[in-house]
Structure 1
């Protein structure tokens, strides 16, 4: 059908867009093109560096390089604690979006449970996604092989080489050294651990805890190139880790071995200290534990074994056992009595005890007439009952407090306890009751409410034997620690510190001579522990506990605790040893343990002194040139070399003088 020209013209006008709409469409298309061009320009030019960096980040992984902890040595440089190479498994959350599907396979390959992995994920749920989660420490070779074999399937698993602690076997010096472990959520909330992260290994007790900031070092990192499966294919750079600082402890390995052997199989503690400096020469506590069990993830079975042990193996009894000191307290009573001008005037008849305030207080023996000179060797309770009654509790407390009883010593080990020194004010504050005079009688022999720790007694009695000079005990040489950190440690572990108490020379001699008679005189309570040729002094203590003194009782908890504090020489001692043997009965049993350590110390000192003398007097080697008359011009007078006979005579005179000076020093 053909249309006439007029009809075609009408239809063309109907189909043609209005000019305004056409222009609007053109402008819209142009605007869209401009926007797209601007966006493309921003992507390709302006943000090119940012996106390039993001792309690099997708293929570059920052792997931490763990700093090895500083090693620990004894005072002579002998290694005590070291590190060993170990491999740990970490989980990388950035590699996969959903971990739940892989958990059963991961658990099977690493010999874990799904619940253990889920617990680890929960612990780190608030930490950044880029932070690796430690799944298992010290993995076995077959577990490493599992990870390598499943790299493509499980790209979220990564291994990391670390240095792990290795401690002496059988719990040797465990309470002194301490142990390390993974930081807990509770610790992370403390100010001390503000810069620590979940999964960090920190010191938990002992030296490891006190000096953690020095020992842990600074971790480094390694930038590696990885493919889409997380496999390492290249290496870009590394920030080296800074190892922790090595520390030299004050302990003497030989004395520590002697102390460990002496206390083995018993419950209690031994402390050996240098009274001149406060350096701890040995510290042992029993029962002990294996710190190697704590250096990796602690097993539930071992932890339950520790917790359910009624002897509390984690308790450092050298600084935490608060027990009645028994008759070792009589030395402090003697100081109080002599300084107050009371004890030297006392002549007390002992007939197996005496009555005070209507109550009979017994004594082990009938000592007859007792004075201050024989009261200490006899360890006569009747004498000290009488002395306590004359002095009164507040005078006793004043002198006991002055030597550190009832106060922390400030030793640089965590969780030291203060013990108790009762007084009228103490009882009113703690029990809201008045002090009765009859209570003072038991305090006079180190019983009643008074309690002390082995480190307190070692420091107190060695301070008295040193003329009243008390040093702050420590287990790390102060020059090993930066001054600011040393000051912080002193603030962290407050105590009675360095101090001097008034003690007259006459009273000092009376007390130290009496302590010498404890071990050297047949009337002394520790005569069986005497050491021939050694100026060995000390004081025993048999501390009764609730239930009475029953040596052969089936219930060992009724058997008294055996104390001894001994030293050599008797005045200005070079070493003091405090022994607590729980339920060891008589104090002379502990005296035998202490005598072995004293003997080890003296023998070592004698060998060292002998070697020094031999080196000092050894004749110079004769050379060929010295034999020739033409080797050197002849000299006269003081410049002329002495002949061998004169040199030998001079050496004998020097040795004789040295021995005399040493003997006078020991006196």
Structure 2
């Protein structure tokens, strides 16, 4: 007994108090870790695990909102939607062996499916992803017939964009497409989007995407362990996008498209009183319907490899020498500076400045400001540029918006160039040479402009110096704050009034009328009987020296024309750029087609209105012309 007691005392002496406390603390720490883990698992993480469990049982099926339709100013449909069915893939149920079967049934390649899976790899696994859009009836039948073997395939009904055929108004309305990884990574505007969502990618579709796209909804359905739908829980209805009415007139748009058919260039028409764009066409064009489903590589390659750049909206993006259309801006500068009134030159086919001879197309003889515009005499404007100097020319050019964006509510507008001494030093670190001023005086050299810039400038001059903000959306359709946001997104030179004396205004507009109505005018072949039609031609060289008779089309000059009706305070103005169209009077004929379509439509409206008045009242109001004719000199 004594021996046992002794052994027990030995063991107690061997277990020191320090070791005992350490063991106790270790046990406490282990218990704390276990309790903490259980707390995180059962309390803090309960919602996450509940959500994961729900995701295994409940599936959200997207209900896509139809985009708003697009109408012209008279409420005629331009862009519509059509019913379509797309195939979606439920990735949590995909088995590797199913992919070749799916590819064969949907007429895809295995690589295409793998690329789609990679594209959406960051999206939640339980979220259905679009596999193929706008599937055919036989592909729908394949999915239906293989529901049990391929539960990962599902179909969703949606509304898809339907654009006019033959690229009609394509650059204006734009197109839609999926949000790309590059857009998500580099453009903060798309931060709230998910991969695969459809957004406006150009034109009106892009500018007003927030209004047009609406808000997607969803259906909550109950699925079993095989992914088969066995019940419904609820839904959130999709909110359709807002319909929009543009300022475009389909009849005038059609006339512009027809005039430009088979040519490269642009036609843009505007109401100078409001800045509303009435028509905008660019050639070559493209088919936006090709972009509303998954774009084929062959079509995309044909677009990219086309040297005439079909995706370029030349009405607002072509930056080219304006040629003699710039002489109207020169005339304003010369008259307002009291230089042009008494300037007379004797044109003998050109003149020499700074030791260099600058040619003119003809021997015009004695020329003053009244005949310089209809003659389009280079010699007169060489001399005027010599007297004004480049900085004074640049001052008036900038005031009229040359070298600045107009701020039109369309993406990717170009600014053009209004050169000056400061501009050349800043961009090229070189001094301005006096001889360069002579070329700028006739719209050549470093000066470049877009058709819309020239349209706004020249129609603004014809409106007494009032330049409006060009826009394609009729007012009153968006909240004021969004309208301000659009203007902030597309800044321009804004609405402004250029001081222009009545005498100078009348002189310039009468001279522009003589361009089309007088036999001495460069656009006389395009004159329209009974219509007060004014304007200015431009023939802009694209190489050094005009190659007359050249068979190389790429060396022929660009043909410009900006015209309006009536000559003063015009109701309608149009600018035409015909790339390599040679003489400006060729573009004047195209403009005349558009002007004539506008006038005939206005006269038809006026006639219909008076017919109604004749029925309502005993005596009809007297007939009057829809477009007043202002005799020259008044």
TM above 0.5, yes or no, is yes
Query: Would you say 1:607 and 2:604 are equivalent positions?
Result: yes
Corresponding residue for residue 537 of structure 1: 534
Corresponding residue for residue 174 of structure 1: 170
Q: Whole-Å Cα distance in 1 between the matches of residues 376 and 67 of structure 2?
A: 49
- Cα deviation for residue 593 of structure 1 reads 0.3
Corresponding residue for residue 90 of structure 2: 92
Query: Would you say 1:76 and 2:46 are equivalent positions?
Result: no
Structure 1 residues 347 and 556, CA gap change in structure 2 (3 angstroms): same
Q: Deviations over 1:225-272 (max 9, x none)?
A: 333332333333221100000000000000000000000000000000
Q: Whole-Å Cα distance in 2 between the matches of residues 540 and 50 of structure 1?
A: 71
Q: Whole-Å Cα distance in 2 between the matches of residues 662 and 554 of structure 1?
A: 43
Q: How does 1:530-609 map to 2 (within 5 A)?
A: 530-609=527-606
Corresponding residue for residue 19 of structure 2: none
Aligned mate of 1:144, from 130, 140, 147: 140
Aligned mate of 2:129, from 123, 126, 133: 133
Aligned mate of 2:238, from 238, 241, 253: 241
Corresponding residue for residue 513 of structure 1: 510
* Kept after mapping to 1: 8 A contact 2:84/2:159: yes
Query: Would you say 1:315 and 2:312 are equivalent positions?
Result: yes
Corresponding residue for residue 20 of structure 1: none
Aligned mate of 1:161, from 138, 149, 157: 157
Q: Whole-Å Cα distance in 2 between the matches of residues 336 and 398 of structure 1?
A: 9
Aligned mate of 1:463, from 452, 460, 464: 460
Q: Whole-Å Cα distance in 2 between the matches of residues 68 and 509 of structure 1?
A: 52
Supply the RMSD in Å over aligned alpha carbons: 2.2
Query: Would you say 1:350 and 2:347 are equivalent positions?
Result: yes
Q: 3-state DSSP class of the match of 2:341?
A: helix
Relative to the length of structure 1, the TM-score reads 0.86
Q: Deviations over 1:494-517 (max 9, x none)?
A: 100111111000000000000000
* Kept after mapping to 2: 8 A contact 1:321/1:454: yes
* Kept after mapping to 2: 8 A contact 1:548/1:559: no
Q: Whole-Å Cα distance in 2 between the matches of residues 51 and 342 of structure 1?
A: 83
Q: How does 1:154-553 map to 2 (within 5 A)?
A: 154-189=150-185, 190-553=187-550
Gapped regions of structure 1 (runs ≥ 5): 1-42, 621-646
Q: Whole-Å Cα distance in 2 between the matches of residues 552 and 268 of structure 1?
A: 21
Q: Whole-Å Cα distance in 1 between the matches of residues 48 and 179 of structure 2?
A: 37
The count of corresponding residues between Structure 1 and Structure 2 is 592
Q: Whole-Å Cα distance in 1 between the matches of residues 377 and 629 of structure 2?
A: 32
Q: Deviations over 1:40-97 (max 9, x none)?
A: xxx99xx99999987665333211100000000000000000000111111112234x
Query: Would you say 1:116 and 2:83 are equivalent positions?
Result: no
* Kept after mapping to 2: 8 A contact 1:457/1:578: yes
Structure 1 residues 48 and 569, CA gap change in structure 2 (3 angstroms): closer
Q: Whole-Å Cα distance in 1 between the matches of residues 354 and 47 of structure 2?
A: 93
Q: Whole-Å Cα distance in 1 between the matches of residues 508 and 211 of structure 2?
A: 43
Structure 1 residues 371 and 211, CA gap change in structure 2 (3 angstroms): same
- Cα deviation for residue 155 of structure 1 reads 1.1
* Kept after mapping to 2: 8 A contact 1:326/1:563: yes
Structure 1 residues 390 and 48, CA gap change in structure 2 (3 angstroms): closer
Q: Whole-Å Cα distance in 2 between the matches of residues 438 and 50 of structure 1?
A: 75
Q: 3-state DSSP class of the match of 1:540?
A: strand
Relative to the length of structure 2, the TM-score reads 0.90
Q: 3-state DSSP class of the match of 2:308?
A: coil
* Kept after mapping to 2: 8 A contact 1:547/1:558: no
Q: Whole-Å Cα distance in 2 between the matches of residues 335 and 567 of structure 1?
A: 17
Structure 1 residues 48 and 375, CA gap change in structure 2 (3 angstroms): closer
Corresponding residue for residue 28 of structure 2: none
Q: 3-state DSSP class of the match of 1:541?
A: strand
Structure 1 residues 528 and 251, CA gap change in structure 2 (3 angstroms): same
Structure 1 residues 575 and 665, CA gap change in structure 2 (3 angstroms): farther
* Kept after mapping to 2: 8 A contact 1:551/1:585: no
Q: Whole-Å Cα distance in 1 between the matches of residues 476 and 483 of structure 2?
A: 9
In our comparison, the structure showing a higher alpha carbon Rg is 1
Q: Whole-Å Cα distance in 1 between the matches of residues 352 and 46 of structure 2?
A: 98
* Kept after mapping to 2: 8 A contact 1:71/1:245: yes
Q: Whole-Å Cα distance in 1 between the matches of residues 310 and 515 of structure 2?
A: 33
* Kept after mapping to 2: 8 A contact 1:151/1:229: no
Q: 3-state DSSP class of the match of 1:419?
A: coil
Q: Whole-Å Cα distance in 2 between the matches of residues 57 and 175 of structure 1?
A: 43
Q: Whole-Å Cα distance in 1 between the matches of residues 222 and 356 of structure 2?
A: 85
* Kept after mapping to 1: 8 A contact 2:199/2:209: yes
Q: Whole-Å Cα distance in 1 between the matches of residues 64 and 629 of structure 2?
A: 54
Q: Whole-Å Cα distance in 1 between the matches of residues 83 and 219 of structure 2?
A: 18
* Kept after mapping to 2: 8 A contact 1:321/1:452: yes
Q: Whole-Å Cα distance in 1 between the matches of residues 192 and 490 of structure 2?
A: 22
Q: Deviations over 1:77-118 (max 9, x none)?
A: 00000000111111112234xx32211111111111111111
Q: Whole-Å Cα distance in 2 between the matches of residues 409 and 366 of structure 1?
A: 37
* Kept after mapping to 2: 8 A contact 1:564/1:588: yes
Q: Deviations over 1:383-428 (max 9, x none)?
A: 0000000000000000010000000000111100000010000000
Q: Whole-Å Cα distance in 2 between the matches of residues 370 and 291 of structure 1?
A: 50
Q: Deviations over 1:285-335 (max 9, x none)?
A: 000000000000000000011011111100110001000000000000000
Gapped regions of structure 2 (runs ≥ 5): 1-40
